[in-house]
Amino acid sequence: MKHILVINSSINGDKGHSVQLAQQFIAQLPQDRFKLDTLDLNVTPVPHLDMTEMAAWMTPVDQRSIEQQRLAAISDDIIARIKLADVIVLGVPMYNFGIPSQLKALFDRVARAGVTFKYTEQGPVGLLDDKPVVIFATRGGVYQGSTMDSQTPFLQSFFNFVGLKKLQFIYAEGLNMGAESQQAALNAAMVSLTEISAKIAA
């Protein structure tokens, strides 16, 4: 049984295009061979990182207070779910040219020195075992390949930094540029997600 971790970050919940595309992707996988774990940041948001929580990570486990144990558990749980997953599916709408702030808050819990990456004389090395990461990038306008697409290079840099390099982007752009543009974008995304789901299911 393979584990799939779905991380949704749309503030529109189930109405969000990134969420709907992720759901359609999952629906195309053999349900008897894949176990689903969903982390919905709209339902259960992760607070922004502060120094109190970071200090809890840096405190030896056997010396943590009850409050520090609670704070450290936020990051520990997220990282454990990522490590357990064989495939990660990520819904990433574009808000004001960037990723949703709640997704950035989650990423801040994933990047931990000595846990998901380490520094060496040759530079940083990711510590997570590589696995497919399927990213549904949904945008109201058209940005792919332009200097206004800050999401793609950021996501590539972040995941590569912690050791995840098998990234596959599925774009659905122009969603707010009229019904025809929206349908064309969703149709193209469906074609891509069908191809990728077939490869993962093989």
Residue 188 near residue 176, CB atoms below 8 Å: no
| CATH number for the domain whose boundaries are 2-201 | 3.40.50.360
CA angle 186, 95, 126 (to 5 degrees): 90
β strands within 109-202, DSSP E: 117-120, 123-126, 132-138, 166-172
Domain ranges of the chain: 2-201
pLDDT(202) > 90:
no
- Two tokens, residue 46: 């992760």
Question: Mean pLDDT of all residues in the chain?
Answer: 96
> Are 129 and 88 within 8 A, CB to CB?
no
Q: What are phi and psi of 165, to 5 degrees?
A: -120, -10
E strands of the chain, at which residues? 2-8, 34-40, 87-93, 117-120, 123-126, 132-138, 166-172
- Mean pLDDT across the stretch 40-68? 96
pLDDT digits (tens, 9 = 90+) for 75-114: 999 999 999 999 999 999 999 999 999 999 999 999 999 9
Each residue's pLDDT tens digit, 126-166 = 999 999 999 999 999 999 999 999 999 999 999 999 999 99
Query: Has residue 173 got a pLDDT over 90?
Result: yes
